[in-house]
Amino acid sequence: MTEDELIALVGHRFEGGTYTIAQWENRLLTEATGRAALPDGLAHPIALFHASMAGARVTIGDILTLAGMEAPDGDDGVVLLGYDWEFLQPLREDEPYTMEGGVIAAERKTGRSGRTTDLLTFEITLTDREGEATGRTTNVWGFRRGET
C-alpha cells in the first residue's frame, strides 16, 4: 500500500447498522472478565467494543483487508496501539443501538531501523433509539510492513 493509498482511507465509512446486546451475551461477556453481573440490565463495559464493531458491520478481518494486510507474512505485524471508549450513557441489555463510523485518521511512520508502520484510526458512535449518543469507540491500529 502506498502512502497516498493509506491517506485516501480517511473518510472510509463502515456499513453501519443496529445491534442489541442480548442478556445471555452480556452474561457471557461478564463471566469472561471474572466479574459479577451489573444490576438493572446494565451491560458490562466490554460490550462497547464488541457491540460497536458488530453493529457497524465491520470485522477485524475487514480492518486488515482495508489496511492491505490480508495475509501478513513473518515480517509484518498488526497491533492495537490504543483505544478510547467513551460511555456517554449506560449501555443496557435488550436495547437496540445504531452504530456508524469509519476511518478518521491515517499516518505512515518510518522508524530508525527503516521499518514502516501504518497507523489507522477508526471511530464508531453508538446512538440509542431516541438518537442520543450513547458511546463512542476510537481505536488506533498499527500495521508494521516488512518492506518500506
Query: What is the rounded distance in angstroms from the CA atom of residue 87 to the CA atom of residue 134?
Result: 6
Q: How many domains does the chain have?
A: 1
What CATH number has the domain bearing residue 99? 3.10.129.10
pLDDT at site 72: 55
Identify the residue with better confidence: 147 or 14.
Answer: 14
Segment 48-106, tens digit of pLDDT: 888 999 999 998 889 888 988 865 555 567 777 888 999 999 999 999 999 999 999 99
Express each pLDDT in 6-56 by its tens digit.
999 999 999 999 999 999 999 998 888 888 888 899 999 888 888 999 999
Mean of pLDDT over the chain = 89
Q: Is residue 54 a contact partner of residue 19, using CB atoms and an 8 Å limit? A: yes
Length of the chain as a residue count: 148
Report the predicted TM-score, pTM, of the whole model to 2 decimal places: 0.86
Identify the domain containing residue 132 by its residue range.
3-145
Name residues whose C-beta falls within 8 Å of residue 78's C-beta, 6 or more positions apart in sequence: 64, 67, 69, 72, 141, 142, 143, 144
